Amino acid sequence: MRVLNEDQKRFLAESIRDVPDFPKPGILFKDITTLLNNPKAYTLLMDHLSARYNEYDLDYIAGIESRGFIFGAALAAKLGIGFVPVRKKGKLPSATIAEKYALEYGFDEVEIHIDAFNEKVGAKVLLIDDLIATGGTAAAAAKLIQDAKAECVEACFVINLKFLNGEEKLDALAPCYSVLEVL
């Protein structure tokens, strides 16, 4: 099940709730909590991701705060590999490395522990999050993986808002895979 068929994609898409005007007017928010509380949908998604990444010989999965933790930790457990949280600045308790990225108005920053990959040079890492929009956070996280001397073999998203072109920011850093695309 490395590739989902159209019926499976439709089932997953229908398990995600659209919330209009959240967090502000004009935004159509993709609420994955309805996918998470649907055991058939969540199992289908996790089985698909497990089948897809089983052959990648990964060392770690890095999940972007916070919804990337939900998918990343579960997938790491299924694959029998380590999980690394990519957190917002100031949330990790030990020595970190950080990467800034641009927001619409200003900047934000994500961090990982300096020893996140146990100092394994060339560790093969999958980056995962629930959604890619403009791509700033994902690109910063992929850069962090490289800065830690690991290899971001792919960036995986449950949903890709294609019309925002976020994957273009990742082109030089890692290939992208999205389970669902919103055109």
Every domain of the chain and the residues it spans? 6-182
User: Domain 6-182, CATH 3.40.50.2020 — does that match?
Assistant: yes
CA atoms of 52 and 177, how far apart (whole Å): 10
Say if residue 106's pLDDT is above 70. yes
How much is the pLDDT for 58? 98
How much is the pLDDT for 19? 97
Mean pLDDT of 30-44: 98
How much is the pLDDT for 34? 98
Catalytic status, residue 67: yes
pLDDT band at 60 (very low <50, low <70, confident <90, very high): very high
How much is the pLDDT for 1? 56
User: Looking at the DSSP assignment, which residues form a beta bridge with residue 176?
Assistant: 155
Say if residue 47's pLDDT is above 90. yes
Mean pLDDT of 42-58: 97
Which residue type is seen at 179? V
Residue with tokens 């999050």: 129
Residue 174 token pair: 């890692």
Q: What share of the chain has pLDDT > 90, as a percent?
A: 94
* Residue 46 DSSP one-character state: H
Catalytic status, residue 104: yes
CA atoms of 50 and 46, how far apart (whole Å): 6
Q: What share of the chain has pLDDT > 70, as a percent?
A: 99
**113-140 residue pLDDT tens:** 999 999 899 999 999 999 999 999 999 9
- Active-site residue, from 67, 109, 151, 181: 67
Q: Is 138 exposed, middle or buried (0-12, 13-18, 19+ CB in 10 A)?
A: buried
User: CA-CA distances (angstroms) from residue 143 to 80, 81, 82, 88, 176?
Assistant: 25, 21, 19, 15, 14
Residue 173 token pair: 């850093």
**67-83 residue pLDDT tens:** 999 999 999 999 999 99
CA atoms of 115 and 144, how far apart (whole Å): 12
pLDDT band at 110 (very low <50, low <70, confident <90, very high): very high
What is the pTM for the complete model shown?
0.96
How much is the pLDDT for 104? 72
Angle of the 39-53 helix axis to the 6-14 helix axis, nearest 10 = 130
- Active-site residue, from 14, 87, 104, 111: 104
User: CA-CA distances (angstroms) from residue 122 to 13, 14, 36, 102, 139?
Assistant: 35, 38, 33, 27, 18
